Amino acid sequence: MTDQTPTPPTPENPLRLGTRASPLAMAQAHMAAAALCAAHGLPEAAIVIDAVQTVGDKVLDRPLAEIGGKALWTKELDGALIEGRIDFAVHSMKDVETELAPGIRLAAVLERADPRDRLVGAARLQDLPAGAVVGTSSPRRTAQLLNRRPDLKVEVLRGNVQTRLKAIAEGRAAATFLAAAGLDRLGIAEGTLLTLEDWLPAASQGIVGMTCRADDARTRALLAAVNHAPSMAWLEAERAVLEGLGGSCHTSVAVHAAGGATLVLKAELLSPDGRDRVDAAISGPALDARGLGLALADRLLAQATPAIRESLEPVVRAGA
């Protein structure tokens, strides 16, 4: 057996796919399974989906940054991979930490869906009345909102898509933001699309990724067959911006990459209260996606105000 000709899974010896248990995560898991079955001519039963309840799904009353960050979405799945209980895991890549856990590798990504945010509860940001409450737990969205509308109030709103939509319907907040890709995958036509010109998304938003054990050559080869190379380049560039900033779930950074052989990468970095904001852009070969992202991070840091630098990781604030 070689990486080029992996032994295909069968219903008797299936690939085990791990995912979070939310409706959106399950929809994305079925997307990944369907893509693999189509690529390798497999019966549906050759891939078994194992839903895992993560800490991030259980603790909903506090911002993610206060209870351990993005690792709370992935820790249980990483553990299941390392222990051999699953063969690969499916993730929304915007929820995956910039540095993967030891022994874990990103093997493939599906073609990117709409990367934009939707505003739910109002047709436009300008239409929200002064003092209105907007629900979100995202530092990025909070800072972007307060930068555009400093008169609004932000309250923590977490939970799956359905939970957050219910909060708006019940009037617990006037509006919220949701990823267009997630709503589209669930068949939910809610909210107004925010343009990329006015409102950049989170790094990797709209991209579904598949991770596996770094030493599992067979699974890596099977997953590689469904990798969408342009989306992988966009992801590498955007995640490199986070890497260069020492980005964590606390960081208020928005970034988007587009293009083919030549990438165009844009980003904005904000202070947590939205008062300070710097923007930068760069273009270059997709083959150097990571290098472009790191270079763009340097440009942002060169412009960063004291308030912005104070919000970043200590290693960045120290200029290391």
Residues marked as catalytic: 95
Partner residues linked to 208 by β-bridges: 92
Cβ atoms of residues 151 and 130 within 8 Å: yes
Cβ atoms of residues 206 and 86 within 8 Å: no
- Alpha-carbon span 197 to 199, nearest angstrom: 6
Torsion-angle region of residue 239: left (phi > 0), alpha (psi -120 to 50) or beta? Answer: alpha
Q: 144, 157, 260: which is closest to 202 by C-alpha? A: 144
- Alpha-carbon span 162 to 220, nearest angstrom: 33
Q: 238, 229, 195, 309: which is closest to 94 by C-alpha? A: 238
| Amino acid (1-letter code) at residue 294 | L
Q: 169, 167, 168, 165: which is closest to 179 by C-alpha? A: 165
For residue 106, give Cα distances in angstroms to 40, 73, 221, 296, 318. Answer: 19, 15, 12, 23, 30
Cβ atoms of residues 273 and 143 within 8 Å: yes
Torsion-angle region of residue 167: left (phi > 0), alpha (psi -120 to 50) or beta? Answer: alpha
